[in-house]
């Protein structure tokens, strides 16, 4: 049974790549609401079902969590938050599949998700490289694929080290 989601709960995500580095992102559940109302009468009974509920998240960063007034420690959510810093998913999809692929309940889990995604990306890249070798592509293109593969491997190792540090801090 999945964990119960509550307003104010913090979820974590890791975003980045080998070229620009990576960052740990904090996502806060701002609200859990019913599906939007519809003029169709046949939808009305289904709106109240738990599966028709939607979870809305906002990334907490310097653009969304701002100083509200000159008072000491008076911070809060900005009035206008761009779509870039918003996410949503339905409770029914959460109950069936769990959290969306990039979110986790812990920092450690976020790094593990990112490592898993990088490994699947690495496997796809290796398949593309084999296909290009079979097609007889130039040495320059194959060197490009080799460089991408080596950079992805380095990035995976870096993420493993960061995951280990986060795990050690937890103890």
State how many domains the chain has: 2
> For residue 1, is pLDDT > 50?
no
Q: Does residue 97 sit in the same domain as residue 125?
A: no
The pTM (predicted TM-score) of the whole model is 0.80
Q: Does residue 129 sit in the same domain as residue 161?
A: yes
Q: Does residue 122 sit in the same domain as residue 41?
A: no
Percent of the residues in the chain that have a pLDDT greater than 90, as a whole number: 48
Mean pLDDT in residue range 118-133: 91
Tell me what pLDDT residue 73 has: 81
Task: For 134-146, write each residue's pLDDT tens digit.
Answer: 888 788 888 888 9
Q: Does residue 48 sit in the same domain as residue 125?
A: no
Task: For 66-113, write each residue's pLDDT tens digit.
Answer: 988 888 788 889 989 999 999 999 888 888 888 998 899 999 999 999
Give Cβ neighbours of residue 128 (< 8 Å, ≥ 6 apart): 145
More confident residue, 48 or 124: 124
**Does a structural domain hold residue 151?**
yes
Do 55 and 28 contact (CB within 8 A), yes or no? no
Tell me what pLDDT residue 22 has: 86
Q: Does residue 118 sit in the same domain as residue 143?
A: yes
Give Cβ neighbours of residue 169 (< 8 Å, ≥ 6 apart): none
How far is 164 from 112, CA to CA, in rounded Å? 10
Residue 47 pLDDT level (bands cut at 50, 70, 90) = low
How far is 67 from 51, CA to CA, in rounded Å? 36
CA nearest neighbour of 46 among 56, 34, 64: 34
Mean pLDDT in residue range 22-50: 71
Q: Does residue 115 sit in the same domain as residue 157?
A: yes
Task: For 5-22, write each residue's pLDDT tens digit.
Answer: 999 999 999 998 777 888
CA 69, chain centre distance (Å):
31
The rounded mean pLDDT for the chain is 86
């Amino acid at each position: 049974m999945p964990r119960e989601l509550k307003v104010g709960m913090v979820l974590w995500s890791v975003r980045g790549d080998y070229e620009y580095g990576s960052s740990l992102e904090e996502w806060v559940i701002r609200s859990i609401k019913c599906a939007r109302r519809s003029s169709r009468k046949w939808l009305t009974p289904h709106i109240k079902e738990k599966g028709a509920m939607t979870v809305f998240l906002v990334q907490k960063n310097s653009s969304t969590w701002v100083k509200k007034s000159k008072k000491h420690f008076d911070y809060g959510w900005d009035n206008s938050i761009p779509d870039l810093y918003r996410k949503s998913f339905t409770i029914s999809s959460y109950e069936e599949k769990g959290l969306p692929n990039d979110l986790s309940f812990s920092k450690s889990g976020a790094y593990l998700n990112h490592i898993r995604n990088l490994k699947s990306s690495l496997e796809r890249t290796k398949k593309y490289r084999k296909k290009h070798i079979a097609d007889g592509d130039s040495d320059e293109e194959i060197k490009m694929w080799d460089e991408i593969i080596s950079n992805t491997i380095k990035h995976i190792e870096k993420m493993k080290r960061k995951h280990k540090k986060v795990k050690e801090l937890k103890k």
